[in-house]
Amino acid sequence: MSPLPLPLPLPLDDLSVGLPAPVRSPSAARLTRLTLALLPLLSIGAWAAVDWHAVRDGAARLAAADPWWLLAGVFFTCLGWVSAACVRQGALPERLPPGLLLASQFAAGAANHILPASIGAHAVTLRFLQGRGVPLARATASLALYSLVKPLAKTLVLIVFLVALPDALRLGALVPDTSALLLAAGGAALGLATAPLLLMVVRPLRRPALGFVRTALTEARLLHTRPSRVLALWGGAAATPLLQGSVIASVGFSLGLPLSWTQVVLALLLASTAVGAVPAPGGIGPVDAALVFTMVAFGAPMGLATTTVIGYRVLTVWLPLLPGTLVLSALVHRKVL
């Protein structure tokens, strides 16, 4: 009787044949999305615990202010989100849903006050654009155009103010000396030369960088052939500092600040231009100090200027922070972001 033939070993690719397929539980994905939805709330809670004294003092000082002027400040704050949504729409050829776009900018405002240098707002907007079907390269080019147009438009508004009202504004204490101007010019030249030098040294960066520049230039050229996009992009960018200055002026008027609307807006333009490049969450810190200094140079008392800036931060940061964080969590939960 001949022995039975031994079965041939199965190849490695067939070892899984006949075995039950691994069951993937949706609990892990659900837990990840829940964590992402709750993370902004936890961050806001930690930040509030650290900076609680500023919030308490600002709210206490605003309790004695004129409520109608404060209501006007809230109105201008809301218009600021509309302005941001207009600039975002103007930087992209595709038409975005207005309601979701406005909600994303409201949520981006909350994220912007957590991470420095507008990283939070750009991250939220990038996720929103990708969720709308915009490719990553074009979405990134849109963010770059947005980041470029805003300071350019603010500079143009500042020039208009300086040219239109040269005598009504006391700028003597704010004009830097020659050494400061040379230092600023040297820093700007160094920053402009860094990018080409980096591309020359690091060759793997050349192709993606050139591709990004090509995409950004193509998008910008296309957008500037459409008057509606030009109006939304540049008009919204120019309106943003005016609305922010209107919020500060409204808070100042509610407290009796002895400055005009023009002086307050110019103080904001000068302060944000001088230290706006310093990476801080939402510009809090450097811009606040420069804004207080500028308003004092225009003739405002130090204590009143400080209280005005604190009230401005309460209206634009702390008051919408919890609703904005809730909207951010809701958008993440609904997979809009």
Give the C-alpha separation, 25 to 23, whole Å.
6
CB 271 within 8 A of CB 294: yes
Whether residue 62 lies inside any domain: the answer is yes
Which of 25-39, 87-101, 294-308 tops mean pLDDT?
87-101
How many domains does the chain contain in total?
1
**Which DSSP string corresponds to 89-137?**
HHT-SSPPPHHHHHHHHHHHHHHHTTSBTTHHHHHHHHHHHHHTT--HH
Give the C-alpha separation, 94 to 102, whole Å.
15
> Is residue 208 packed enough to be buried (19+ CB in 10 Å), middle (13-18) or exposed (0-12)?
exposed
Please provide the size of the chain in residues: 337
Whether residue 251 lies inside any domain: the answer is yes
Region of 202 on the Ramachandran plot (φ > 0 left; ψ -120 to 50 alpha; else beta):
beta
Q: Tell me the pLDDT of the chain averaged across its residues.
A: 76
Whether residue 39 lies inside any domain: the answer is no
Q: Give the pLDDT confidence of 88-100 residue by residue, as tens digits.
A: 999 998 899 999 9
Looking at per-residue pLDDT, the higher value among 226 and 284 belongs to 226
For range 41-68, the mean pLDDT: 65
What token pair was written down for 240? 């943003």
CB 90 within 8 A of CB 233: yes
Measured at the CA of 300, the angle between CA 151 and CA 286, to 5 degrees, comes to 40
What is the model's pLDDT at position 19?
46
Whether the CA torsion 332, 85, 188, 215 is positive or negative: it is positive
Comparing C-alpha atoms, which of 294, 181, 169, 311 is closest to residue 253?
A: 311
- Cross-strand bridge partners of residue 281: 116
At residue 279, what are phi and psi to the nearest 5 degrees? -70, 110
pLDDT reading at 208 higher than 70: no
Measured at the CA of 239, the angle between CA 250 and CA 271, to 5 degrees, comes to 65
What is the model's pLDDT at position 18?
47
For range 234-254, the mean pLDDT: 94
Per the structure, the complete domain to which residue 314 belongs is given by: 56-333
Rg, C-alpha atoms of the chain: 26
At residue 116, what are phi and psi to the nearest 5 degrees? -80, 165
Q: Give the pLDDT confidence of 155-170 residue by residue, as tens digits.
A: 999 888 888 877 655 5
Whether residue 3 lies inside any domain: the answer is no
What is the model's pLDDT at position 21?
47
Comparing C-alpha atoms, which of 336, 321, 332 is closest to residue 114?
A: 321
What is the model's pLDDT at position 181?
46
Looking at per-residue pLDDT, the higher value among 319 and 211 belongs to 319
Looking at per-residue pLDDT, the higher value among 40 and 229 belongs to 229
Whether residue 8 lies inside any domain: the answer is no
pLDDT reading at 206 higher than 90: no
For range 263-276, the mean pLDDT: 83
Whether residue 33 lies inside any domain: the answer is no
- Look at residue 222 and give its three-state secondary structure: helix
Looking at the chain, list the stretches that DSSP marks H as alpha helix, in order from N- to C-terminal side.
27-50, 52-62, 67-90, 98-112, 119-131, 136-164, 178-201, 206-223, 227-230, 236-255, 261-275, 286-297, 302-313, 319-333
Whether residue 296 lies inside any domain: the answer is yes
- Look at residue 281 and give its three-state secondary structure: strand
Whether residue 134 lies inside any domain: the answer is yes
